[in-house]
Structure 1
Amino acid sequence: MTRNTTTAVRVVIADDQRMVREGLSVVLGAQAGIEVVGEAANGAEAVATAAALEPDVVLMDIRMPEMDGLAATRRVCADVPATKVLVLTTYDLDEYVYQALQAGASGFLLKDASAATLADAVRIVAAGDALLAPSVTRRLLGEFARLPRDTPRVPTSPELTPRENEVLVLLSRGLSNAEIAAELFIGEQTVKTHVGRIFDKLALRDRTQAVIYAYENGIVAPGDR
């Protein structure tokens, strides 16, 4: 299928509650540069709709019948790699945060977010960046803190150059490209180049997966500064 060449961000909304889908469609449809192109009532429909329409972003609910949002996220990220997944949930109590990000989700946002925040999140994820609600970030770090300590600490990733390893460590601590540039006394465009090479060499989709890689491989640990 040929992708839409317009500048509008094309979105599919996956949620098992019709009222929620309609509400999100109205909210996003009123935002400049965003077009809702499809809806899905369960995970299986989300996968099929994403494959058929190849949207820029799928807004994915976690708890859905037939196929939950976690399994659907994994399928969409594998089958339609150009499509980004932004997970939406009513509560930040889901036990699936860590798994959803491992499955390839580019962001995780609560449904109580404002219309402006939701629209910004869609644009951020569509642009290839990662986004997490602050409470979700805390939960993710808590999950890392509970990981078994039998993973040895390693100073670097062997696939990366020394400078790329430095960038990976700073990125994993939550620094922006501008902050990394200031820390390493290099240009912001140079940082962007390093980040892109890190993604390519480690087969990562975005900054969130880079953080997961660094924590899981012992390059950084919760509490590192």
Structure 2
Amino acid sequence: MTILKVVLADDHKMIRESLGALLSSEPDIKVVAYAGDGAEAITLAQAWKPHIVLMDVCMPVVDGIEAAMRIVKQLPQTRVIALSAQGERPFVSQMVEAGVQGYVLKDESVATLARAVRAVAAGQTWLPEPTQILSGPEKRLLSRRERLVLKELAEGKRAREVAEVMGISTKTVDTYRRRMMSKLGLVSQAELVKYAVALHGGVGTGVRGSAAPVGQSA
């Protein structure tokens, strides 16, 4: 019997250790390493070369989408399953575009997660309602520059501040904002900021309630 090696990445220690213990109780699954952020997940995946990386989507340092994309590119034999409380289309579609082969919501049972691990390790996909998730204008991965702008928004920066940090104009920041909203299928700046804060695992706890719209330089 093949033992499936798993690296589990989640920014909540209690969740990752509890979930890891439950998964490792399965006779054919062994969690070999735990990561608390996306950067650590990449490093551990490179070190262990596991069959599966279970990746929380909303992670600090490097978000789950970026981490998944790097792992898929660097380790073609390793498959990534997104594990998240976020089931909205922008989260799922961006992870799929990053190359994950599975997406499991955290309200599913451990038994379901174990089945997903086995299925994805065997070359199958495990996605929630794929025909709905993968349709629509948001089926495009954000560019590196767009992701950098998104991270600045998660930290609560105004357009002028984002422009200063990145060495671009406020007009360019607004262009990036509109492109991201189109790709993600979002209709308002508030939705974009909410997505940014959720994605970066609490980085945006300093978001200012009085912040001006991103398209303004207040």
Q: Would you say same fold, with TM above 0.5?
A: yes
Report how far residue 32 of structure 1 moved.
1.6
Deviations 1:177-205 (A, max 9, x none): xxxxxxxxxxxxxxxxxxxxxxxxxxxxx
Q: Which residue of 2 aligns with 1:82?
A: 77
Against the structure 1 CA distance between its residues 94 and 44, is the aligned structure 2 distance closer, same or farther, given a 3 Å change threshold? Answer: farther
RMSD: 1.7
Deviations 1:103-160 (A, max 9, x none): 11001110111111110000011111110134xx36514xx23469xxxxxxxxxxxx
Unaligned runs of 5+ in 1: 1-5, 149-225
User: Which of 118, 131, 141 matches 1:123?
Assistant: 118
Against the structure 1 CA distance between its residues 139 and 42, is the aligned structure 2 distance closer, same or farther, given a 3 Å change threshold? Answer: farther
TM value normalised by structure 2: 0.60
Tell me if 1:54 matches 2:49.
yes
User: Which of 138, 145, 160 matches 2:136?
Assistant: 145
Unaligned runs of 5+ in 2: 140-218
Contact in 1 for aligned 2:11/2:60 (Cα 8 Å): yes
TM value normalised by structure 1: 0.59
Q: Which residue of 2 aligns with 1:104?
A: 99
Contact in 1 for aligned 2:90/2:138 (Cα 8 Å): no
Tell me if 1:9 matches 2:8.
no
CA–CA separation in structure 2 for the residues paired with 1:36 and 1:146: 36
1:1-225 counterparts in 2 under 5 A?
Answer: 7-93=2-88, 95-134=90-129, 137=130, 139-141=132-134, 144-146=135-137
Deviations 1:63-92 (A, max 9, x none): 111000000000000111100000010131
Against the structure 1 CA distance between its residues 22 and 94, is the aligned structure 2 distance closer, same or farther, given a 3 Å change threshold? Answer: farther
Say how many residue pairs are matched. 139
Greater relative contact order (Cα 8 A, min sep 6): structure 1 or 2? 2
CA–CA separation in structure 2 for the residues paired with 1:131 and 1:22: 23
Report how far residue 53 of structure 1 moved.
0.3
Identical pairs, percent: 42
